[in-house]
A and B are shown apart, each in its own frame.
Chain A
């Protein structure tokens, strides 16, 4: 009870402070009209990067290093989960759900895969990108795991393959970044390093962005699948 009242008092003070601070923020429109960053990206973004979707342009080009960092965060989380559940074993079940569910999931699975691929590859044209598409791919492996039982999934794409895909995706991202240095520009340079800008709005536009999206997609899908697998494992002491 004392704990709760103390917490309430602290939070009341914090709330007043934060509300007072928020009240003094300028209007978003005002800030945008003065911000060099936003104005430059809105006016030059398409010609700078060749991507129509400016959020993707920011994510993979202007602030590509953030994206490398966040991809590494997923890598670290997956590695951490694997490390924590190291001595655990996967309970293999061959049963799965009814054959009705199995049949319909087999019809659905290719479409789910293609949807994921679409989201990954068209990240610079429409809303989407490597992270979102990667999550769709990860749900595919989880679906197969639930419907067919873990034994099927285990043989289908085992942990080794997933680790391989995850590492390869991460290394591909770094290699694409190093192309910039190789071509005499900077790390993670896009158009300036000779990637073709293409016609904005088409699949082949955006220079290295679709390739980066593909690398991230692989990595995210494999990383999330690994996290899921390790969480359903059983303790063997």
Chain B
């Protein structure tokens, strides 16, 4: 029996608990500790994902039977999300070494806890344990948003916190109702027995679940917390929140309604999801068009991209699900890359007036930023194009070509504001000094640019792998 599923969660926890002790000795060891942690994490995740044949494995915690204790489940879906989280967090962690001062030891503590929480969230097979991990991830992310400790950052963090706590309460109510109706917390067992819940109660449970998680993935009209929170944070935190954290809400949406609903309810949920997604895509891009701050533009574009991702779910076909998962992976790479490279070009103040011409100070970073933005717009030959293409194909195939039109319109709108950003960043009329980039940050930025390119050229290979997983889910 392999202990990897639990070790993946314990490893970042050990890092988080040991960091204060190491800091008491000296701050000099920070770099070594962080790099050891990242390497260890990548090794553990690699062993888990590629180490076995890819079936479903269970890990009973404390040795109790699944319906009595808590069980960890590793299946295709959780493998994809583990990979996404591992890559996204490792890059952000290495990037923070250069960007976050060493004396901020609690930053690394919270970062470790956040990673552990996200891994736990995608691995657990127990509903209440899922709630604990939801709270763990959100609680660790609030202070990270406010790390600059200035008024706007604290206020953004506070707003983010109030919305998230509200969403957690809804999820908790829905979990309590499930337990009250079925007397079990095991997710597979719940999936089997959900049909036996009286109709009215089941609708309530699903509605609370979808609204609660809708708040977390920031679909319109539940989005208003996201732009300030993602824009006021420091670059690595923005990349982490936009690139990785909101995807965990997506994981829970995929995991539960598909397990839960059968027949009429499923059609209903898909109808709601697909229309919310269309509104979110257009609305997110329009919001981004109205912003006067580069980071806010990127944050609003995250809302729109969550729309694309939910759209694939709403289509409900195999191809739609493949598009959803593929776009989630691509979005992680390109949005993190955009935040990382932007953070190298501009150190603070991201409004349009202060970033004039800053791109010419660090031409290599500007090049990667260009790659990431083109990928975000969805033009070939980059990853964003490949996954948007699949989503569009899925919509046409499902006989709803209007949603392919929505995707095309979204692409056009995003092209407008990214072109504007580039005009400002490369403004030749302003004189700028060149900015030095540390090799570590440059490496991280390079990796994200590389991932954007890989997303296109290896698209068929990746989608074939995702397809195997998606068949298992449906």
Question: Which residues of A approach B to under 8 Å, CB–CB?
Answer: 17-18, 20-22, 24-26, 28, 31-32, 34-38, 40-41, 61-66, 68-70, 72-73, 75-77, 79-84, 86-87, 160, 163-164, 166-167, 170-171, 174, 177-178, 180-181, 185-190, 192
Contacts and interface: CB of A to CB of B under 8 A. Distances in A.
Contacts of A32: 183
Chain B interface category by residue count: 35 or more
B21 A167 contact: yes
A24 B62 contact: no
Nearest to A83: B106
Contacts of B70: 62-63, 65-66
B147 to A, nearest CB: 7
28 contacts: A21-B201, A24-B201, A31-B181, A37-B185, A63-B128, A64-B62, A66-B128, A66-B129, A66-B132, A72-B16, A73-B139, A75-B17, A79-B109, A79-B110, A83-B104, A86-B149, A167-B18, A167-B20, A171-B17, A171-B18, A174-B13, A185-B63, A186-B3, A186-B59, A187-B59, A189-B62, A189-B63, A192-B63
A135 B108 CA distance: 26
B64 A62 contact: yes
Interface string B179-214: 011111100000000000110110011010000000
A31 B205 CA distance: 17
Contact of A36 (B113, B184, B198): B184
B132 A64 contact: no
Interface of B: 1, 3, 6, 10, 13-14, 16-18, 20-21, 24, 59-64, 67-70, 104, 106-107, 109-110, 113, 116-117, 120, 128-129, 132-133, 135-136, 139-140, 142-143, 146-147, 149, 154, 173, 177, 180-185, 197-198, 200-201, 204-205, 207
A81 B13 CA distance: 19
Nearest 6 Cβ contacts at the A-B interface? A35-B183, A80-B143, A21-B204, A69-B132, A83-B106, A24-B198
Contacts of A82: 106
A40 B68 contact: yes
Contacts of A188: 61-62
B156 to A, nearest CB: 13
A25 B147 contact: no
Contact of B200 (A20, A41, A62, A189): A20
A48 to B, nearest CB: 8
Contacts of A65: 61-62, 70, 129
Contacts of B104: 83, 86
B143 A186 contact: no
Contacts of B183: 31-32, 34-38
A171 B13 CA distance: 9
Contact of A26 (B69, B146, B149, B181): B181
Nearest to A28: B180
A31 B180 contact: yes
Given A24-B201, A170-B13, 20 more contacts: A20-B204, A35-B183, A62-B68, A63-B69, A65-B61, A66-B129, A69-B120, A75-B113, A76-B136, A79-B110, A80-B143, A83-B110, A86-B104, A167-B20, A171-B17, A171-B18, A174-B14, A174-B17, A186-B62, A188-B61
A80 B61 contact: no
B139 to A, nearest CB: 5
B136 A73 contact: yes
B136 A69 contact: yes
Contacts of A84: 143, 146, 149, 154
A189 B64 CA distance: 8
